[in-house]
Amino acid sequence: MPTADTPYKEATGRRVRASEPLHGDIVEHLEDEAQLLDEDDLMGWIQLLAEDLVYRAPIRCFTERGSGSPFDEEAAHFEENAMTIFLKVMRLTQTSSAWAENPASRTRRIVSNVRVHETDVDGEYRVDSSILLLRSRYDDTHYDLLSGRRVDCLRRADSGFRLASRTIYFDQTALGVSNLAVYL
C-alpha cells in the first residue's frame, strides 16, 4: 500500500506480466535504448523519441514522512521537449566545442525492475524502471552516480516503440553531479 509520500501516481491499467511477449519486447527496447546512450549514439537515440516528447526530472526535497509528495509539481532539474532535446543533441554531435562532453565521458546505464501496465490509450504503455547511471570523466577514478525511478510512456510505432514521455524521480535532493550533459 503506497503511503501519501508516494511521489508518482501508481499505474491503474492491467499489468502486463513478465511472461507475456509484450513485456519482453519492452525490456528489449529499454536495453537497446540504454545501449545507444552508453555508446554515445545520440543520433540513433533521438530516433526513438516521439515528436510530442516530454522528458523531465522534478526537483525533490526531503520532507517529513506523511507530508505528501517530496517532488515539486513545477520545478524541474530539466524539462525538455523534442525541440530542446534536438538542440542539445545537435550541440553535442555537430559542434566542436560542447566541452561538457568533449572528450566524451564513459557512461553505463543499468536498467532494471521493469514493470509494464496498459493505459487508457491503445498502444501506449506505462513503463516503470529503475535506472542507475555511472559516468566517468577524463582519468578521474570518481564516478558520477545517479539513481532513480523512471516512469515512461512508451508508444507502439511502425517499428518498435517511441518514447512519448519520461519522468525521472531522482533519489538525491541535491544532485551529486557537476552537470547532466548525458541522458538517462
Tell me the window of 24-32, 97-105, 119-127, 148-156 that interacts with other proteins (CB under 8 A): 97-105
Q: In this structure, are residues 179 and 102 in contact, taking their beta carbons and an 8 Å threshold? A: no
Span interacting with other proteins, options 3-11, 22-30, 126-134, 173-181, rule CB under 8 A = 173-181
Residue 83 engages other proteins in binding (rule: CB under 8 A): yes
Q: Which of residues 63-82 bind other proteins (CB under 8 A)?
A: 63-64, 67, 72-81
Question: Least distance from C-beta 36 to other proteins, angstroms?
Answer: 18
**Is 134 an interacting residue with respect to other proteins (CB under 8 A)?**
no
- Give the number of other Cβ atoms within 10 Å of residue 100's Cβ: 14
Least distance between other proteins and beta carbon 141 (Å): 13
Number of chain positions touching other proteins (CB under 8 A): 40
Binders of other proteins in range 13-52 (CB under 8 A): none
User: Could you tell me which stretch among 19-27, 37-45, 84-92, 115-123 binds other proteins (CB under 8 A)?
Assistant: 84-92
Is the bond into 2 cis (omega within 30 degrees of 0)? no
- Three-state DSSP class for residue 128: strand
Q: Which is nearer to other proteins, 3 or 94 (CB)?
A: 94
The label of the residue with cell 502486463 reads 16
Residues near 160 by beta carbon (within 8 Å), at least 6 away in sequence: 25, 29, 48
CB of residue 72 vs other proteins: minimum separation in angstroms? 4
**In terms of DSSP H, where are the helices of 39-174?**
42-46, 82-94
Q: Which three cell numbers stand for residue 182?
A: 548525458
Query: Cα dihedral sign for 114, 118, 121, 122?
Result: positive
Interface with other proteins includes 3 (CB under 8 A)?
Answer: no
Edge to edge, the sheet with strand 124-136 lists: 15-16, 106-118, 124-136, 143-156, 161-170, 49-60, 71-80
By CB under 8 A, name the binding residues for other proteins: 59, 61-64, 67, 72-81, 83-84, 87-88, 90-91, 94-100, 137, 142, 173-181
